[in-house]
Amino acid sequence: MSREEMRQEEQRIVNDHQNSLELEQIVFVGRTFEEYIRMFDLTTDELAGKAILDCPGGACSFSSQARKHGAYPMAADIVYQYGIQELQTKGLQDIEHTMKQMQAVQGKYVWDQFGSIQGLKEERLRAITDCVADMRAHPECYVNTLLPELCFNDDQFDLTLSAHFLFTYADRLNFDFHVQTISEMLRVTRQEVRIFPTVDLTGKRYDDMDELKMFLEKMGCRVSEIRTSYEFQRNAHTMLRIIKPS
């Protein structure tokens, strides 16, 4: 398969991913900064002075709050091709739709953090509000990108975070896509990449995880699956940490 054919195939995969989210009415909904801290086993103190990529960034508020802690964040996502107001309007609609859907599937989630659907709604609204405000203040830090390619320089970031995409949609993104995307994330990252969660939407560990880890270890990376303090989707409580060779 030529490079152009491969790109077209990946475009189809990402488009399928987007269409499936639209069908489920969950397109521009994001997590809060506090959720990221727990998902990726971070502390606020270690953010200062670091260049951090959030990919895909969606409507998450990590960048907006990490900036306040002295970080230099950048978010990348294919949805950033759309206007900020358009994204905000769609995101608010998606939150309403998502909360209605939650009524029927509450048992699939752990409610310790949010307490209730109303509590979840308030956090999702806080995330998109902070995200949109930061997009308006720092539009250059929200970059439209089509994975598996990233339009950044080698070793541009100290840390790359990727939440609720790669392994989450493993039924739609094949092994080659995972390898290409993670390799590209490693290319633009100087120190490490963290991916959360390590399971799909059913809570099942990524089928090809062991093969993927072997591939990364052959590149000289140190790879580990780490239990975190965050769990909302049941069984989604582990991140993959990939440390590049020094």
The answer for residues whose C-beta is within 8 angstroms of residue 100's C-beta and 6 or more apart is none
Is residue 237 helix, strand or coil? coil
User: What's residue 246's pLDDT?
Assistant: 84
Mean pLDDT over residues 219-246, rounded?
97
In whole angstroms, what is the distance from residue 36 CA to residue 163 CA?
Answer: 8
The answer for residues whose C-beta is within 8 angstroms of residue 15's C-beta and 6 or more apart is none
Query: Does residue 59 contact residue 27 with C-beta atoms inside 8 Å?
Result: no
In whole angstroms, what is the distance from residue 58 CA to residue 106 CA?
Answer: 23
- Average pLDDT over the chain, rounded to whole? 91
Q: Which residue has the higher pLDDT, 2 or 227?
A: 227
pLDDT tens profile 153-188: 999 999 999 999 999 999 999 999 999 999 999 999
Nearest of 188, 165, 182, 214 to residue 39 by alpha carbon = 165
pLDDT above 90: residue 220: yes
DSSP structural state of residue 155:
T
Is residue 2 helix, strand or coil? coil
% of the chain with per-residue pLDDT over 70: 89
Q: Among the residues of the chain, which ranges form H helices?
A: 3-23, 33-39, 62-68, 84-105, 117-137, 175-187, 209-218
Q: Which residue has the higher pLDDT, 108 or 12?
A: 108
- CA angle centred on 12, ends 7 and 16, rounded to 5°: 145
Any idea which residue has 């200062």 for tokens?
A: 48
Type of residue found at 209: M
Residue 159 backbone zone (phi > 0: left; psi -120 to 50: alpha; other: beta): beta
Any idea which residue has 């002075």 for tokens?
A: 49
pLDDT tens profile 48-71: 999 999 999 999 999 999 999 999
Helix (H) / strand (E) element for 142: namely strand 142-143
pLDDT tens profile 179-219: 999 999 999 999 999 999 999 999 999 999 999 999 999 99
pLDDT above 80: residue 146: yes
Q: Is the pTM of this model over 0.85?
A: yes
pLDDT tens profile 1-28: 455 554 454 455 445 444 433 423 347 9
